[in-house]
């Protein structure tokens, strides 16, 4: 609408039709919200929490159950309904004007954010539209900050609706739980087409958009499009002026815009994440769409600007919500590198050898992964896999429940490899967390790949690789507490990541002993990224950052540090020391690697530098175990 009217803006008679139209839609929005936001009642908070939006807090309490897989979907739901009441109360405290007495605490709580999108059903959205066909999901964070996506369907909606009644027609005027949810969450993503059509009308993203519209008093999809249209209007208004809008900042909020041909992506965030990080997240979101659809979807828009992409993405909401969730915990999303499961060199070699074997038989890429960590991967000659593609692919596989239950053969596109063409992915879970992906260009290679998988599986079982994988998962990665104190004593009997194993006692005991106050000199955590390997290794979280909130805050601090070091205009810098009330952080970028280390805020500078050197040495000492070393022609 905007672009049309703007084309006549030379006419002084009607000089600013565009802005007026923005105004009109926005005025309506604003007036509605202004009245809404005045009142907040406890019951509304509670009803909000019943919508099950507080994934992270709830799951922190429940993860054990989830991991055991002992809960039925209904059980999960009831947990959702019972636990968040506490949470909602603390939220309420947060929403109230800042009490100066508990300022620090308040801030800490505010740090918590719930950007893991709600299940559409729990927002009442899917239920309202009676769309049981749309897949919906809940994201859960387990102990290691990883995602288990729990798929559910229409039945769930019903249950949800019955437990948390939601009356569409009721949301007007002073109804405000959705508006609270809007403000409670720190980050919102929107995807729309260049004609202003919401692309995820049935997805989690649209559910948020929908929530937003509930918050402004609109309850139906028709009006939902109005907000999309506003975003679209802003983008095309600036575009018509011969420019391209990137960012709008207002107080704590940032609105980030990304235009990808006919697809517009927008993020509204009040997290502290820098613009560059959020833009990177939109890029990944777009990449995830391309992975599902390829870029040739653009042609549909060329043919018909009002093309509705939604049906093409049907059932993929969990993929996007899981990706959005990973923006809060997975360093791969901003480091543009992947991480490996720590394994003995020989074990990884064994896995690599059999993968190489099948790669030679016409498989483009063979990837063996455990959760988001790579065990081994092999590519056909000259084919290289971008870390972002790996992130998107593993997210796609892990978030889709169907891959877990049976072997699958699915068309996918690797946006960095070739955004225009589909590849075919054969996916098979070898155990609960370990899965094999075989990529090929041939659409009829299923049986061949199945044979390959059988061969691989046999070899992996025979060579004990899967057992070793399980063992590594239990033992975890590098613990800062294990940092070798004296470089001279590195020799001798070392097994797991340079540390002598304690021969007796259960692993829990082992951890108890060593998980006290972080590593030497107040070292709390580090990330080491090898530039030429495109891989990173992050230490396990030590006790000073044991809670999810602390981990997320640390993650954000890394994002900031990374952005600051890699400034587009003048970066990359060489070294950075940063101290604030939360941490001392040190970053060191060389041609070969980047080290990001976090210390206690009172850490001694000179000592911290020494420790960083030692960390680098440690990583080099165990690089055979923590990295996938160039055994394959995979990258170069």
Give the footprint of another protein on residues 72-131 (CB under 8 A).
Answer: 98, 100, 103, 107, 110
* Nearer Cβ to another protein (206/231): 231
* Nearer Cβ to another protein (181/347): 181
Burial of 97: CB neighbours in 10 Å, binned 0-12, 13-18, 19+? exposed
Burial of 489: CB neighbours in 10 Å, binned 0-12, 13-18, 19+? exposed
Secondary structure class of 633 (helix, strand, coil): coil
Torsion on CA atoms 293, 299, 305, 306, rounded to nearest 10: -40
Burial of 508: CB neighbours in 10 Å, binned 0-12, 13-18, 19+? exposed
Which one of residues 173, 241, 305, 630 is an interface residue with another protein (CB under 8 A)? 241
Q: How many residues bind another protein (CB under 8 A)?
A: 72
* Nearer Cβ to another protein (167/248): 248
Residue 20 near another protein by CB under 8 A: yes
CB of 173 to another protein, least distance (A): 17
Q: Which two tokens stand for residue 99?
A: 């009490």
CB of 52 to another protein, least distance (A): 22
Give the footprint of another protein on residues 158-217 (CB under 8 A).
Answer: 182-183, 216
Apex 299 CA angle, 294 and 304, nearest 5: 130
The DSSP 8-state label assigned to residue 99 in this structure reads P
Antiparallel, parallel or unpaired: β 535-538 and 338-339: parallel
User: Of the candidates 30, 565, 563, which has an alpha carbon nearest to the alpha carbon of residue 277?
Assistant: 563
Secondary structure class of 507 (helix, strand, coil): helix
User: Of the candidates 474, 554, 540, which has an alpha carbon nearest to the alpha carbon of residue 506?
Assistant: 474
> Residue 483 region, left (φ>0) first, then alpha (ψ -120 to 50), else beta?
beta
Cβ neighbours, 10 Å, residue 602: 8
CB of 420 to another protein, least distance (A): 25
Q: Which two tokens stand for residue 547?
A: 């809670």
* Nearer Cβ to another protein (309/561): 561
Residue 19 near another protein by CB under 8 A: yes
Q: Cite the DSSP H helix spans in 493-584.
A: 507-514, 548-565
Give the footprint of another protein on residues 535-564 (CB under 8 A).
Answer: 564
Give the footprint of another protein on residues 574-613 (CB under 8 A).
Answer: 574-581, 605-606, 609
* Nearer Cβ to another protein (490/574): 574
Q: Which strand (E) or helix (H) includes residue 425?
A: strand 423-429
CB of 369 to another protein, least distance (A): 36
* Nearer Cβ to another protein (227/409): 227
Cβ neighbours, 10 Å, residue 520: 14
CB of 592 to another protein, least distance (A): 16
| Binding characters for another protein, 432-471, by CB under 8 A (x = yes) | ----------------------------------------
Which one of residues 138, 159, 233, 497 is an interface residue with another protein (CB under 8 A)? 233
Cα–Cα distance, 474 to 359 (Å, whole number): 30
CB of 261 to another protein, least distance (A): 16
Residue 33 near another protein by CB under 8 A: yes
Residue 300 near another protein by CB under 8 A: no
CB of 189 to another protein, least distance (A): 14
* Nearer Cβ to another protein (22/292): 22
Give the footprint of another protein on residues 275-294 (CB under 8 A).
Answer: 275
Residue 154 near another protein by CB under 8 A: no
Options 48-56, 133-141, 444-452, 570-578: segment touching another protein (CB under 8 A): 570-578
CB of 172 to another protein, least distance (A): 17
Which one of residues 69, 162, 243, 382 is an interface residue with another protein (CB under 8 A)? 243
Which one of residues 4, 23, 158, 431 is an interface residue with another protein (CB under 8 A)? 23
Cα–Cα distance, 64 to 57 (Å, whole number): 13
* Nearer Cβ to another protein (238/432): 238
Q: DSSP for 110-174?
A: HH----SPPPTTTTTHHHHHT-TTS-EEEEEE-TTS-EEEEEE-HHHHHHHHHHS---GGG-STT
Which one of residues 246, 306, 509, 620 is an interface residue with another protein (CB under 8 A)? 246
* Nearer Cβ to another protein (98/170): 98
CB of 23 to another protein, least distance (A): 6
Cα–Cα distance, 632 to 379 (Å, whole number): 7
**Do 122 and 139 meet the contact criterion of CB atoms below 8 Å apart?**
no
* Nearer Cβ to another protein (492/569): 569
* Nearer Cβ to another protein (315/522): 522
Which one of residues 4, 15, 96, 487 is an interface residue with another protein (CB under 8 A)? 15
Cα–Cα distance, 31 to 217 (Å, whole number): 10
* Nearer Cβ to another protein (248/513): 248
* Nearer Cβ to another protein (348/556): 556
* Nearer Cβ to another protein (165/241): 241
Which one of residues 567, 592, 613, 620 is an interface residue with another protein (CB under 8 A)? 567
Burial of 454: CB neighbours in 10 Å, binned 0-12, 13-18, 19+? exposed
User: CB neighbours of 398 closer than 8 A, spacing ≥ 6?
Assistant: 147, 149, 322, 371, 372, 435
Options 244-252, 359-367, 447-455, 539-547: segment touching another protein (CB under 8 A): 244-252
């Amino acid at each position: 609408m905007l672009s049309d009217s703007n084309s006549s803006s030379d006419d002084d008679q009607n000089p600013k039709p565009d802005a007026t139209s923005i105004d009109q839609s926005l005025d309506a929005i604003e007036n509605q919200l202004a009245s809404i936001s005045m009142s907040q009642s406890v019951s509304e908070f509670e009803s909000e929490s019943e919508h099950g939006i507080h994934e992270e807090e709830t799951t922190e309490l429940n993860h054990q159950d989830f991991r055991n897989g002992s809960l039925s979907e209904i059980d999960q739901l009831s947990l959702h309904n019972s636990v968040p009441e506490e949470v909602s109360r603390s939220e309420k405290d947060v929403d109230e004007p800042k009490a100066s007495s508990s300022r620090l605490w308040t801030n800490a709580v505010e740090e918590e954010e719930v950007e893991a999108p709600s299940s559409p059903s729990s927002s009442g959205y899917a239920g309202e539209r009676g769309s049981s066909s749309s897949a919906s999901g809940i994201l859960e964070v387990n102990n290691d900050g990883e995602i288990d996506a729990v798929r559910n369907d229409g039945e769930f909606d019903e249950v949800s609706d019955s437990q948390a009644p939601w009356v569409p027609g009721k949301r007007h005027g002073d109804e405000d739980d959705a508006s609270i949810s809007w403000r409670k969450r720190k980050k919102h993503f929107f995807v729309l087409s260049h004609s202003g059509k919401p692309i995820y009308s049935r997805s989690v993203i649209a559910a948020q958009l929908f929530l937003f519209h509930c918050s402004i008093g609109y309850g139906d999809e028709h009006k939902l499009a109005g907000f999309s249209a506003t975003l679209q209007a802003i983008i095309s208004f600036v575009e018509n002026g011969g420019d391209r809008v990137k960012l709008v900042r207002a107080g704590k909020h940032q609105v980030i815009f990304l235009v990808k041909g006919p697809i517009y992506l927008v993020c509204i965030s009040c997290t502290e994440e820098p613009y560059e990080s959020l833009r990177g997240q939109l890029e990944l979101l777009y990449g995830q769409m391309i992975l599902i659809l390829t870029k040739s979807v653009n042609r549909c828009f060329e043919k018909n600007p009002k093309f509705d992409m939604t049906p093409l993405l049907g059932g993929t909401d969990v993929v996007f919500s899981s990706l959005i969730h990973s923006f809060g915990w997975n360093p791969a999303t901003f480091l543009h590198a992947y991480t490996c499961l720590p394994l003995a060199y020989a074990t990884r070699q064994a896995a690599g050898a059999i993968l190489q074997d099948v790669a030679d038989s016409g498989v483009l890429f063979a990837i063996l992964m455990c959760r988001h960590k790579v065990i081994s991967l092999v590519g056909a000659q000259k084919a290289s896999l971008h870390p972002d593609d790996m992130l998107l692919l593993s997210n796609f596989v892990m978030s889709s429940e169907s891959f877990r239950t049976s072997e699958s053969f699915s068309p996918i596109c690797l946006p960095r490899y070739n955004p225009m063409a589909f590849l075919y992915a054969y996916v098979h879970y070898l155990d609960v967390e370990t899965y094999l992906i075989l990529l090929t260009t041939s659409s009829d290679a299923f049986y061949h790949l199945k044979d390959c998988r059988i061969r691989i599986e046999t070899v992996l079982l025979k060579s004990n690789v899967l057992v070793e994988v399980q063992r590594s998962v239990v033992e975890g990665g590098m613990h800062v507490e294990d940092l070798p104190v004296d470089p001279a004593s590195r020799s001798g009997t070392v097994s797991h990541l340079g540390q002598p194993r304690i021969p007796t006692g259960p692993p829990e005991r082992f951890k108890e002993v060593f998980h006290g106050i972080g590593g030497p000199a107040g070292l709390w955590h580090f990330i080491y990224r090898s530039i030429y390997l495109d891989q990173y290794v992050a230490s396990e979280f030590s006790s000073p950052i044991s809670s999810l909130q602390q981990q997320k805050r640390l993650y954000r601090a890394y994002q900031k540090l990374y952005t600051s070091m890699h400034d587009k205009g003048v970066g990359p810098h060489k070294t950075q020391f940063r101290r604030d009330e939360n941490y001392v952080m040190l970053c060191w970028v060389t041609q070969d690697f980047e080290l990001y280390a976090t210390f206690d805020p009172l850490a001694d500078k000179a000592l911290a530098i020494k420790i960083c050197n030692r960390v680098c040495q440690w990583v080099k000492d165990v690089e055979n175990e923590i990295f996938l070393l160039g055994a394959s022609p995979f990258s170069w």
